[in-house]
Amino acid sequence: MRFQFVLGEVVSGLRRNTTMVVAVVLVTFVSLTFVGAAALLQAQIGKLKDDWYDLVEVSVFLCPEGSVSPTCATGEATDDQIDAVRQVIDTELSSQVSKVYFESKQQAFEAFSERYPDGYQGTQLTADDMQASLRLKLTDAEQFAVVSDVLSGRDGVEIVEDQRAVFEPLFRTLNVATLLAAGLAGVMLLAAVLLITTTIRLSAVSRRKETEIMRLVGASNLFIQLPFLLEGALAAVLGSLLAGGGLWLAVRFMVSDWLERSVDWVAYVSEVDVFRVAPLLVVMAVALAALSSFFMLNRYTRI
Amino acid sequence: MIRFENVSKVYARGARPALDQVSVDVERGEFVFLVGASGSGKSTFLSLVLREQRPTRGRVYVAGRDVANLSGWRVPTLRRQLGVVFQDFRLLQNKTVHENVAFALQVIGKPRHVIRDTVPEVLDMVGLAGKGKRMPTELSGGEQQRAAIARAIVNRPQILLADEPTGNLDPTTSLGIMRLLDRINRTGTTVIMATHDDEIVNEMRRRVVELSDGVVVRDEARGGYGEREAILPDVGASPVLDAPGSGTRAPVQTVRGS
């Protein structure tokens, strides 16, 4: 009885306020799309970084089997060569290097498998296709040149790589894009809150008589306010679902179908990531509606 | 049933109190007329009973509860024991008579079968049998007020508050409404009715509480409406309406010609 009655009130409220409700749906749709885009951009950054990225600045890749580099003439780096390199790091570079991690081929393979569970570009690799490396954390990231000078050309060292030089500009771009999306999302969210507030107020005013009678015959606060709450929440959730759908379409057609085919060596965000973000958007929508309702209802439908 | 203990209500700081040290005790099953000029505090009295307002000072007890100190979430429970009727009926225009009465039960969560049984019974009692499907606009003023009364009593309240229920009705129709209120009172419901209608008060001979400027000036067990001022003050033959306040002939103004 109660449930049916409340539902009827919600439906009639939505019908009475159709234009406003559509506006709420659209504004939440757009704002949450920006929120979702920001989240996906961050997810993309996460995908580009490997496990070492936040930990170290320099990767010293040790000679794999069959390398053509002159320092690798003796074939795969031996334990002795590795020990020698570590020795140099511990003595000559002790003031520049603060931490050293050793990643064996097996460990590299495990990390790799985790990032590319389906194999890389259609080939199944094994631990032997991996490359052992020393990962260095520097006391000062600017000291890369010194470290590179000392370690390059030693036996068993194939190449010394400044990790950040490769990805940093890209990450900066992605981070700026994230900020932009988040900023726009903020503005739109504010608009959404204001709009939901206005919608609820309109709805409350247009149902003033009903509300007054309800108060007088002793309907509980919750019962009086529930239809308004549900109206706002329903519109907002609809908007968030649209946002999720929009993001899914964008990832599906722009990233998976297009980007992944043109630039295929990068791990991109996938539809799975969208499904991870979408519930958050719904939760945000509900929170948004709850927040605005809270303000409104205390002013317009108090007992 | 209702007790006011030295109740004062001041709306704005420094303003004259709407009620000033009012003490009234209404027994269960009583029928009380609340009379007095507009602005004498009748509506404030009723809204304090309904806990739409809290008293500035003093205590208000309704059905054994200290209403002034009632916490907000208990107010609905209090109001379920009260029925209210207004001068302007306040029916929902987009609902039929039946739906209007049922609405009062729906919103307090009564089960459907209770509503199905109770509403026609109450409509029958107030004399609207067979008119449940009409819209409020299709009813006469008296019938609309009957519908409003049906809505007020459908949950069998212990107290019925009526704020000038006959104010919009002609004398004959008013009489019918008064008979209905009397009948409701005879079933044990306490009725408090604020009114300006001296004929009704004089005819019913029930308890009369008269307010004037927020003070109880009279509380009679079987009272009449009280003295009314004459419409035209007795100032002799002079045409007072032409010269307000003076009672003398207004000086003749000469119109200056050009």
Cα gap A234→B105, rounded to integer Å? 26
The span from the CA of B202 to the CA of B226, in Å, is 8
Average pLDDT over chain A, rounded to whole? 83
> Do A180 and A291 share a domain, yes or no?
yes
- Residue B246, C-beta contacts closer than 8 angstroms, at least 6 positions apart: none
Same domain for A100 and A150 = yes
d(CA A251, CA A44): 11
> Does A191 lie in the same domain as A96?
no
Nearest to A218 among B72, B77, B92 (CB): B77
The pLDDT of residue B247 is above 50: no
Residues A19 and A78 placed together within one structural domain of the fold: no
Spatial distance between the Cα atoms of A75 and A58, rounded to a whole number of angstroms? 23
Question: Which of A216, A224, A226 is most worth mutating to test chain B (most B CB atoms within 10 A of its CB)?
Answer: A216
In a domain, B172, yes or no: no
Higher pLDDT, A115 or A181: A181
Name the pLDDT band for A201 (thresholds 50, 70, 90): confident
For chain B, how many structural domains are there in total? 1
Taking the C-alpha atoms of residue A278 and residue A281, their distance in angstroms, rounded to an integer, is 5
What mean pLDDT comes out for the span A204-229? Answer: 86
Q: Is B155 on the interface with A (CB under 8 A)?
A: yes
The residue segments making up the domain with residue A267 are 2-49+168-300
Q: What is the pLDDT of residue B121?
A: 95
Helix axes B141-153, B171-186, angle to 10 degrees: 20
Q: Which tens digits make up the pLDDT trace of B107-124?
A: 998 998 999 999 999 999
Is A210 close to B92, i.e. CB distance below 8 A? yes
Residue B125, pLDDT above cutoff 60? yes
Specify the DSSP element, H or E, that contains A50.
Answer: none
- Same domain for A159 and A201, yes or no, is no
Task: Report the C-alpha gap between A152 and A62 in whole angstroms.
Answer: 11
In tens, the pLDDT along A48-67 reads 776 666 667 788 888 888 77
From the list A2, A218, A223, the residue facing B79 with the nearest CB is A218
pLDDT > 60? residue B238: no
CB-nearest partner of A213 from B72, B80, B103? B103
Same domain, A43 and A65: no
Q: Select the residue from B107, B116, B117, B154 to test the A interface by mutation, using most A Cβ atoms within 10 A.
A: B107
Average pLDDT of the residues in A115-133: 74
One domain, residues A67 and A138: yes
Mean pLDDT calculated for residue range B177-183: 95
Q: For residues A124-150, give the mean pLDDT.
A: 80
- Mean pLDDT, to the nearest integer, of A216-222? 88
With a cut of 50, say whether residue A153 has pLDDT above it.
yes
**Distance (Å, whole) CA B4 – CA B66:** 10
CATH number at residue A86: 3.30.70.3040
Helix axes B112-125, B141-153, angle to 10 degrees: 140
Measured between CB atoms, does B251 come within 8 Å of chain A?
no
DSSP 8-class letter at B238: S
Contact between B155 and A2 using a beta-carbon 8 Å cutoff: no
In angstroms, the CA A246 to CA A238 distance is: 12
Residues of B in contact with A217 (CB under 8 A): 79-80, 104, 107-108, 151, 155
Query: Average pLDDT for residues B240-250, to the nearest whole number?
Result: 51
Asked if residue A133 lies in contact with residue A89, where contact means CB atoms within 8 angstroms, the answer is no
Determine, yes or no, domain membership for B245.
Answer: yes
| Other Cβ atoms within 10 Å of B205 Cβ, number | 13
Q: What is the pLDDT of residue B245?
A: 53
What b-and-e string marks burial along A8-34, b requiring 16 or more CB atoms within 10 Å of the CB? ebbeebbeebeebbebbbbbbbbbbbb
Residue B84 touches partner A, C-beta closer than 8 Å: yes
Using an 8 Å Cβ cutoff, are A174 and A269 in contact? no
What is the rounded average pLDDT for all residues in chain B? 88
- Mean pLDDT of all residues in B202-226: 89
| pLDDT above 70 for A221 | yes
By three-state DSSP, how is residue B225 classified?
A: coil
Residue B244's pLDDT is 54
Alpha-carbon distance B179 to nearest alpha carbon in chain A (angstroms) = 23
Chain A interface mutation, best of B89, B91, B93, B106, highest count of A Cβ atoms under 10 Å: B106
Domain span at B50: 1-81+196-258
| B108 part of a folded domain | no
Are B76 and A212 within 8 A, CB to CB?
Answer: no
Q: Is residue B210 part of a domain?
A: yes
Give the Cα separation of A213 and B148 in Å (integer). Answer: 11
Same domain flag for A294 and A186: yes
Q: List strands edge to edge, sheet with B159-163.
A: B82-86, B159-163, B190-195, B31-35, B207-212, B215-220
Looking at A143, A164, A185, which one is the last position of a domain? A164
- pLDDT for A303: 45
Last residue of a domain, one of A113, A148, A164: A164
**Does B231 lie at the interface with A, CB-CB under 8 angstroms?**
no
Q: What percentage of chain B reaches a pLDDT higher than 70?
A: 88
Percent of chain B with pLDDT over 90: 68
Judged by a CB distance cut-off of 8 A, whether residue A6 touches chain B is no
Q: What is the pLDDT of residue B226?
A: 76
CA A161 – CA A174 distance, rounded (Å)? 22
- Among the candidates A116, A143, A164, a domain finishes at A164
B185 and B33 Cβ atoms separated by less than 8 Å: no
Q: What is the rounded distance in angstroms from the CA atom of residue B143 to the CA atom of residue B193?
A: 19
- A37 burial type by CB count under 10 A (0-12 exposed, 13-18 middle, 19+ buried): buried
pLDDT digits (tens, 9 = 90+) for A1-10: 577 888 888 8
Number of domains chain A contains:
2
Query: What is the rounded CA–CA span in Å between residue A45 and residue A243?
Result: 21
Lowest mean pLDDT among A79-83, A239-243, B177-181: A79-83
Residues A31 and A68 in one domain: no
Per-residue pLDDT band at B258 (split at 50, 70, 90): very low
Which chain B residue's Cα is nearest to A211? Answer: B107
Spatial separation of the C-alpha atoms in residues A39 and A182, rounded to whole Å: 9
Residues B170, B141: Cα–Cα separation, whole Å: 9
Indicate whether A190 and A250 sit together in one domain. yes
Say if B229 falls within a structural domain. yes
On chain A, the residues whose CB falls within 8 A of the CB of B111 are 1
CA B57 to chain CA centroid, Å, is: 23
The reply to whether A156 and A66 lie within a common domain is: yes
CA atoms A104, A105, A106, A109: torsion sign? positive
Print the SS3 string covering A91-149: HCCCCCEEEEEEECHHHHHHHHHHHCCCCECCECCCHHHCCCEEEEEECCHHHHHHHHH
B77 touches chain A (CB under 8 A): yes
Query: At residue B92, does pLDDT exceed 80?
Result: yes
Residue B128 belongs to some domain of the structure: no
In terms of domains, do A103 and A90 share one?
yes
Q: Which of B166, B232, B229 is nearest to B201 (CA)?
A: B166
For residue B135, pLDDT over 80 is answered with yes
Q: Give yes or no for A2 touching B (CB within 8 A).
A: yes
Q: Kindly list the residues from chain B whose CB atom is less than 8 angstroms away from the CB atom of residue A214.
A: 107
- Residues of B in Cβ contact (< 8 Å) with A224: 107
Task: Write out chain B residues lying below 8 Å of A16, CB-based.
Answer: none
**B9 sits in which H/E element:** strand B2-9
Nearest CA in chain B to A223: B107
